[in-house]
Amino acid sequence: MFLQLVQQRRTIYQFIDQKVESKKLNQCLEAAIWAPNHGLTQPWRFYVIGNQTQQALTQLYAKLRADKRALAGSEEHQAIYLKACDRFMANPQIVIVGQVCSSDSVKSKEDYAACACAIQNFQLAAWEQGLGVQWSTGPIINEAETYQLLGLNSAEIKLIGILYMGYPECIPESQRLPLSKVVKSYP
């Protein structure tokens, strides 16, 4: 049932050590591109990360995390760095989402909304297949080095999300306000 799928989907932060089948990943991508988008701009781009690229991104991710939390060169910095490497590499699959840039601010806003719809389609298709996703807007997507690694020009594509995915190790709880708090009806 659709409502059950939507309500039961959770953001997943820990994954078991099992690869994501490319057929399942393709189903998620296929669902993503059928999201609504104004003027059929189809502003989304998906960058499917392979092992070699994940390793390169790992170093960047770990550096950003360690630099934020400890003094470069310190033992603490090194410990955070190594832990972050393990954490990033433990993601069985990573997909980075980009939005095609537009100089028109209205179009840009609408295109971001369309990309968000696409990501939610992706997440729901994943969940239906037993897979979990964490949609992150963490700092790695803003780094010039990430664009370089992916061979992207930041004047053409803006990276808007990084999707970590795999089979869930545990499923967290979440909650929402009741409808009565967020819906107002008019006669």
Ligand X SMILES: Cc1cc2nc3c(=O)[nH]c(=O)nc-3n(C[C@H](O)[C@H](O)[C@H](O)COP(=O)(O)O)c2cc1C
Subset of 9-68 contacting ligand X (CB under 6 A):
10-11
User: Which stretch, 47-55, 60-68, 124-132, 133-141, contacts ligand X (CB under 6 A)?
Assistant: 133-141
In this chain, which of 125, 134, 163, 165 binds ligand X, going by CB under 6 A?
A: 134
Nearer to ligand X, 20 or 97 (CB): 97
In this chain, which of 21, 138, 148, 156 binds ligand X, going by CB under 6 A?
A: 138
135 binds ligand X (CB under 6 A): yes
153 binds ligand X (CB under 6 A): no
Over the window 76 to 105, marking each residue x when it contacts ligand X by CB under 6 A and - when it does not, the resulting string is ------------------------------
115 neighbors 43 (Cβ within 8 angstroms): yes
Measured CA to CA, the distance from residue 36 to residue 25 in angstroms comes to: 20
DSSP per-residue codes, 27-82: HHHHHHTTS--GGG---EEEEEE-HHHHHHHHHHHHHHHHHHHS-TTSHHHHHHHH
Helix (H, G, I), strand (E, B) or coil at 151: coil
Which residue type does 137 have?
A: T
User: Which stretch, 26-34, 57-65, 81-89, 134-142, contacts ligand X (CB under 6 A)?
Assistant: 134-142
User: Which stretch, 32-40, 67-75, 136-144, 147-155, contacts ligand X (CB under 6 A)?
Assistant: 136-144
Nearer to ligand X, 80 or 160 (CB): 160
Measured CA to CA, the distance from residue 100 to residue 108 in angstroms comes to: 9
Using CA atoms, how far residue 158 sits from 65, 79, 86, 100, 168, in Å, is 21, 32, 27, 6, 29
| Residues in touch with ligand X (CB under 6 A) | 10-11, 134-138, 174
